[in-house]
Amino acid sequence: MNPVATPAAPHVHAPHVQPGEGEPGTVREHHDHHELGFLRKYVFSVDHKVIGLQFLFSGLVFLVLGGLMAMAIRYQLAWPWQPMPGLAWMFPATGGAITPEFYTMLFTMHGTIMIFFVMIPLLTGAFGNFLIPLMIGAPDMAFPKLNMLGYWTMIPAFFFILLGFFVEGGHAAGGWTSYPPLSTIESAAPGSLSGQTCWLMGLTWVGVSSMMGAVNYVTTIVKMRAPGLTMMRLPLSIWGLMITSLLQLFALPVLTAASIMQLLDRVLNTGFFTPTNLLVNNVTPDSFAYGAEAAAAGGQPLLWQHLFWFYSHPAVYILVLPAMGFTSDILAVHARKPIFGYKPMVYSMSAIAGLGFIVWGHHMFTSGMNPALGMTFMVSTVMIALPSAIKVFNWLGTLWGGRIHLRTPMLFACAFVSMFIIGGLSGIWMAATPVDIYIHDTYIVVAHFHYVVFAGSLFAIFAAIYHWFPKMFGRLMNETMGKIHFVGSFIFTNTTFYMMHQLGVAGLMRRTADPYAYDVYQQLQPINEFITLSAFCMFAWQIFFVANFFHSMFWGKRVGRNPWNAASLEWDAPSPPGHGNFDRELKVYRGPYEFSSPEVAEDYIPQTRAL
């Protein structure tokens, strides 16, 4: 029995407002959970830590799926139309070779899965859930049941996104951006038969889930902080997650509305995005798909692009802001230094989020949108590099003069800074409208967002897993294996993605199944081959992570509450924390980054220590 869960025990948040805390039923409910069986404890759990781990594991499973698709894409780009060795059984019709329609499906679903089923669930679902109550000293989320529902609405999302692979015509093949009319008209692509409907259903459910999560995160952070924990004493991870949740709250409804509109276009022929008088594959879509009596149209394909990017550009910051937060925390802890410029860090994250809402048009410079709009979007986009630059300088300032311990989480966090510099800087070219005329939809764009999301955010996720693993399972991950994992990942990530910049400068456009159909790209084959081999090595290298993760989960070195001598609140809880998280009363006296302070003998002061 956990003492925290009993009403008699000194509750960490006795003076704090908590929804339902005054009702004895709520507390008894917590109490009951511990006596329930495996199913209620690990499957239908309302405990934020278990839900976080559920998001973590499903995210990692989809990461493998998305990664396998990336390997197939790379294979095709290096050796187009060659049969993939050993995969003839999967593609009996072609003897293992990738067909063009399969290729379009591959990159569509690679992007979709990596963004909506891996990165967002890992950053906000897994770490948002796991870290928020622990780092603010709360026993759980504000709405534990809503939290559970947030994970369980992912189940229909998983169902539809996997179902799409098995329907006639295959899964959606209109790119992860799903631009209509390609995605809405059935005769336009095989993936637009039923695959696209599965895609839209899957995405809508992910949106509903993220929405529930975001409401919960914001409420929890605002209402349930431990006494003395002011907003300006929050760890930057929490700021990152808080701002991310606000972005989701404001931007997600737009995407959800847009995907429902596209769904209606597809099933009811509403024609929001479909112009009149199309002739697709010698079929007039009006009569083909829906019956001539429902031949409505007069829609606007650009409308989808505006709505889609109104969400999906802020989504890019949803993919990176929590990662910035984790990196800040990990750098400070392992460099034994207070974060350099805490307030500028918070302000710059807020500025990224604010500006993030007025830059979506930079995805549409060549789309036929009014070019005068392009001018304003260029200025806002270029200026968003400013808060990013401030963050980089502050990270460097944090390292400066520190006493750095190069453990695995620190290595990945430093790599995040290094890779984010590349991904951030390459964005400036894309913001510049005349330059973007040339590089839009080329491999520079591919290099850019993989440096931000893969080399950046995923490295930050690795850092976070290594860093918070002891809190999750009470055991350390193996350092030697972690370092091996880091060295290979760092090298192969760069050999994979760096040369894509040059491919883009050479004009190679993305999403093409066979670049060598054009004379102008003939000379790029050797480089693509090099990139593909690097990508294979990088994928294979992750075995060190998988082995280390599962081995350490059961046989790793046991550790106490605070293996890194960190100062923030989660390290005050037992490792792993029981139901209700904290077993002693918390009162916060200072910020989370009091490292190397001359006031005390040790090199850190926990947030809870009174001096």
Partner 1 sequence: MRLLFSLMLLAVPILGVWTFLKADEWHTWFPQNVSSFGGEIDGLFNLILYMVAFTFVVTEVCLAWFVFKYSAKRSDKGAFTHGSHKLEMIWTAIPAVALLFIAFSQMETWAKIKFQKNFPKDGAYSVEHPIAEVWASQFDWRFRYPGDDGVLGTVDDLETSFEFVVPVDTDVVFKLRSRDVIHSFFVPEFRLKQDALPGHTIPVWFRATKTGVYDLVCAELCGWGHYKMAGSVRVVSAEEFKTRMAALKAEWFSNGKEEGQ
Give residues 246-285 in contact with partner 1 (rule: CB under 8 A): 275-281
Binding residue (CB under 8 A) for partner 1 from 163, 296, 385, 537: 385
CA distance 321 to 129: 15
Closest CA to 329 of 231, 238, 453, 212: 238
Tell me 368's DSSP state: T
Taking the C-alpha atoms of residue 569 and residue 203, their distance in angstroms, rounded to an integer, is 35
Please confirm whether the linkage preceding 19 is cis (ω < 30° from 0). Answer: no
Residue number with CB closer to partner 1 (9 or 425) = 425
Q: Which window, 158-166, 309-317, 577-585, 594-602, contacts partner 1 (CB under 8 A)?
A: 594-602
Q: Is 182 in the site for partner 1 (CB under 8 A)?
A: yes
Site for partner 1 in 134-153 (CB under 8 A): none
Span 185-204, contacts to partner 1 by CB under 8 A: 185, 188-190
Site for partner 1 contains 435 (CB under 8 A) = yes
Chain centroid to Cα 473, Å, comes to 23
Sign (positive or negative) of CA dihedral 63, 123, 250, 316: negative
Q: Which member of 404, 481, 533, 537 binds partner 1 (CB under 8 A)?
A: 404
Of 91 and 179, CB closest to partner 1: 179
Per DSSP, 280 falls in state: B
Please tell me whether residue 400 binds partner 1 under the rule CB under 8 A.
Answer: yes
Interaction mask 149-178, partner 1, x per CB under 8 A: ------------------------xxx---
Q: Does 576 bind partner 1 (CB under 8 A)?
A: no
- Residue 282 buriedness (CB in 10 A; 0-12 / 13-18 / 19+): exposed
* Residue 466 DSSP SS3: helix
CB of 586 to partner 1, least distance (A): 23
- Residue 374 Cβ vs partner 1, minimum distance, rounded to whole Å: 7
Q: Which is nearer to partner 1, 167 or 249 (CB)?
A: 167
Note whether 344 binds partner 1 by CB under 8 A: yes
Do the beta carbons of residue 340 and residue 476 sit within 8 Å? no
As a whole number of angstroms, the longest Cα–Cα distance in the chain is 82
Binds partner 1 (CB under 8 A): choice among 39, 93, 372, 611:
372
Q: Tokens 């993605």 — which residue?
A: 497
d(CA 109, CA 202): 12
Q: Among residues 311, 427, 309, which one has the least CA distance to residue 364?
A: 309
Which of residues 183 and 248 has its CB atom nearest to partner 1 in the complex?
A: 183
- Assess 333 for contact with partner 1 (CB under 8 A): no
Contact between 494 and partner 1 (CB under 8 A)? Answer: yes
386 binds partner 1 (CB under 8 A): yes
Return d(Cα 472, Cα 56) in angstroms, integer: 11
292-331 residues in contact with partner 1 (CB under 8 A) are: 299-302
Q: Which helix (H) or strand (E) element contains residue 113?
A: none
How many of the chain's residues bind partner 1 (CB under 8 A)?
117
* Beta carbon of residue 570, minimum distance to partner 1 (angstroms, whole number): 22
If one asks whether residue 73 binds partner 1 (CB under 8 A), the answer comes out as: no
Using DSSP, state whether 495 is helix, strand or coil. Answer: helix
What distance in Å separates the CA atoms of residue 488 and residue 408, rounded to the nearest whole number? 13
Instruction: Select from 14, 155, 375, 540 the one that contacts partner 1 (CB under 8 A).
Output: 375
| Binding test (CB under 8 A) with partner 1, winner from 57, 166, 393, 555 | 393
User: Least separation, in Å, of the C-beta of 506 and partner 1?
Assistant: 5
Sequential DSSP letters for 374-402? HHHHHHHHHHTHHHHHHHHHHHHHHHTT-
Rounded Cα distance between 127 and 516, Å, is 43
Q: Is residue 358 close enough to count as binding partner 1 by CB under 8 A?
A: no
By three-state DSSP, how is residue 171 classified?
A: strand
* Interacting residue with partner 1 among 83, 100, 228, 574 (CB under 8 A): 100
Q: Which stretch binds partner 1 (CB under 8 A): 3-11, 18-26, 370-378, 548-556?
A: 370-378
Please pick, from the candidates 87, 162, 264, 505, the single residue that binds partner 1 as defined by CB under 8 A.
Answer: 505
Contacting residue, 59, 235, 338, 356, with partner 1 by CB under 8 A: 338
CA distance 592 to 567: 5
> Of the two residues 222 and 375, which places its CB atom closer to partner 1 in the complex?
375
By CB under 8 A, residue 18 contacts partner 1: no
Whether a cis peptide bond, with omega within 30° of 0, leads into 181 is yes
- Segment lying near partner 1 (by CB under 8 A), choices 11-19, 250-258, 390-398, 568-576: 390-398
Q: Are 182 and 263 in contact (CB under 8 A)?
A: no
How far separated are the first and last CA of the chain, in Å rounded? 33
Nearer to partner 1, 9 or 278 (CB): 278
**DSSP character for 601?**
S
| Comparison of 50 and 444: residue with beta carbon closer to partner 1 | 444
Span interacting with partner 1, options 141-149, 224-232, 399-407, 567-575, rule CB under 8 A:
399-407
**Interactions with partner 1, residue window 519-558 (CB under 8 A):** 519-520, 523-524, 527
CB of 161 to partner 1, least distance (A): 20
Residue 295 burial by CB count (10 A; 0-12/13-18/19+): exposed, middle or buried?
middle
CB of 269 to partner 1, least distance (A): 16
Residues of span 464-493 touching partner 1 by CB under 8 A? 483, 487, 490-491
Which range touches partner 1 (CB under 8 A), out of 159-167, 194-202, 226-234, 417-425? 417-425
DSSP string over 526-582: HHHHHHHHHHHHHHHHTHHHHHHHHHHHHHSPB--S-TT---SGGGGS-SS--TTS-
| Secondary structure element (H or E) that encloses residue 253, with its range | helix 236-268
Q: How far is the CB of 182 from partner 1 (least distance, A)?
A: 4
Q: Which stretch, 26-34, 60-68, 204-212, 341-349, contacts partner 1 (CB under 8 A)?
A: 341-349
